[in-house]
Amino acid sequence: MSTQHRKTVTWLILFAFGRLILISGRRILFPFLPEIARGLGISIVEMQQLIGWTALISLVAPFLVPLNERLGRKPLIIGGYVIFILAAIIATITANAWLFALSMGLVMLSHTVHDPNMQAYIGDMIPWEWRGRATGLIEISWSLSLLLIAPIAAVLIGRYGWRSPFVMLAVLGVVFAWCIQRTVPAIPPEKNGWTTPRQMWRYVRQYPAVWAASGFALLVSGSNQLLFVSYAAWMEETFTLSLDGLGLTAIVIGAAELVGEIIMGFGSDRFGKKTVILIAGIIAAVCYVIIPSFDTSLPVALLVMFVLFVAFEATFISIIPIFSELIPPSRTTALSALAASGRLGRSAAAFLVAPIGQAAGFGGITIVAAVLTVIGVLLVVPRRDIAN
C-alpha cells in the first residue's frame, strides 16, 4: 500500500467514525423515544412532532453552498463538529422540551453543514469507479450508530438517565474534530462564481436529473422515517418490550443497515447503482407491507425488520455516489440538494405518522411507506441521464 493510499484510507476512516458521532446525536432518539419523551414530560406524538420540526432546519442546506466558495470544504466540515458539540452540551444540561428541541435543531444544522461538504470532498478525491466503496465505508457510520452507540446509550440511560449519552457524544465530538483538523488535507474551494442562492438555483435548473433524484431522496427517506418513528411504540405495545428489548431492536436494525451498506459498497460498483436501487427498493416495499402481519412472533418480526433495513439502506445509499456526479463542477450543490430533500422527507414523515396511525394504524403507516418507496424508485431507475 502506497503512502498516499494509506493517508486516503486514514481520513476515510476518520470521516466514518466522526460522522458516527454526529449521526448518533439524533439516531439514539428513536429506539428510546418513549423513555426520552417521558423524561421531557411530553407525549410520544409531541416527541414525533418535535423531531419533525427540528428536521426542517436541513432545508437551509442549499443556501449554505456559497459558503464553500469562500471557506472551502474542510473548514465547513470542522464547523459541523463545532455546532454538534454545542448541541450535545445543551441536551446534557436541560430537561426542558423547548431547549431540547433547540439542541436537536442544532444537531440537524451540524449534519447540514458537515455532510454535503464531507461527501463532496470524497467526490473530489475518489474516482467514480471506487466511489461506491468509499461511500459504503462512510455510511457504515449510519448503522454503527444503532449497532454500537445505541447499546451503550441503553446502559447509560438505565444507570444515569436519558441525558447521559449526550455527555459521551460531546466529548467524542471534540476528539474527532481535533483528529480531522490535524489529519485531513485541505483542498481549494469550488469556484463557480455564485454569490447568492438565486444564482445557484438558475444553474441547477439546467440539470433535471437533480430534481428527479431529489424526489427519490424525499420519498424513500420519508417512507423509512414513517416506520422508524413508529416502530418502537408498536413493538413496546405489541410485544411488551422493556428498555433492554428496545435496545435489542436497535441492534437488529443497526446490523441490517451494516449489511445493506456492505452490499451497496461492493454491489453498486460491480453491478450498477441503479440496479441495486431497483432490486433493493422492491424488497423494501414488500417488507413494509408484510411486517404488521407478524405481530404474534417477535423473532419473525425482527427478521422481517432486518431484511427491510438491509434493503432500504442499500436503496438509499446507492443514490449518494449518483448525486456526487450529477453536477461535477459543483458537487456540494447536488449533495446539498440530497441533504435537503432527504431530511425534508423525514420531517414530513414525522408530522404525518400520527394522523396516518390514528386513521389506519401501524399497518396503514407501512402501506404508505411501501407506496412512497416504489414511486421514488420509479423516479430514478428509468432515467437515461442518471448513470448506472
pLDDT digits (tens, 9 = 90+) for 111-153: 888 888 887 788 777 776 676 777 777 878 877 887 788 888 8
Alpha carbon separation from 311 to 18, 65, 141, 348, 373 (Å, rounded): 25, 31, 17, 22, 11
pLDDT reported for residue 290: 92
pLDDT of 284 over the 70 cut: yes
Per-residue pLDDT tens digits for 65-84: 666 666 777 888 899 999 99
249 part of a folded domain: yes
Taking residues 78-96, what's their average pLDDT?
90
- Alpha-carbon distance of 53 to 142, in angstroms, equals 22
Q: What percent of the chain has pLDDT over 90?
A: 16
Residue 230 predicted with pLDDT over 60: yes
- Sign of CA pseudo-dihedral 182, 185, 186, 190: negative
pLDDT at position 371, please? 95
* Domain contains 385: no
Q: How many domains does the chain have?
A: 1
358 lies in some domain: yes
pLDDT per residue as tens digits for the range 286-342:
999 998 888 888 888 889 989 998 899 888 888 887 777 777 666 677 777 777 788
387 falls within a domain:
no
**All residues at 6 or more sequence positions from 111 whose CB lies less than 8 Å from its CB, including other chains:** 22, 23, 26, 58, 80, 339, 343
pLDDT band at 213 (very low <50, low <70, confident <90, very high): confident
Block residue for cell numbers 424513500:
220
116 in a structural domain: yes
From 235, 379, 215, select the one nearest 300 (Cα to Cα).
Answer: 235
Q: What is the pLDDT of residue 84?
A: 94
Check residue 287 and give its pLDDT: 93
Phi, psi of 340 (to 5 degrees): -65, -45
Write b or e for each residue in 213-224: b if 16 or more Cβ atoms lie within 10 A of its Cβ, otherwise e: bbbbbbbbbbbb
CATH number of residue 234's parent domain:
1.20.1250.20
Residue 303 belongs to some domain of the structure: yes
Give pLDDT, residue 170.
93
pLDDT (mean) for 101-111: 87
Residue 369 confidence (pLDDT) = 93
State the residue range of the domain holding 62.
3-380
- Please tell me the distance from the alpha carbon of residue 146 to that of residue 89, in angstroms, as a whole number: 21
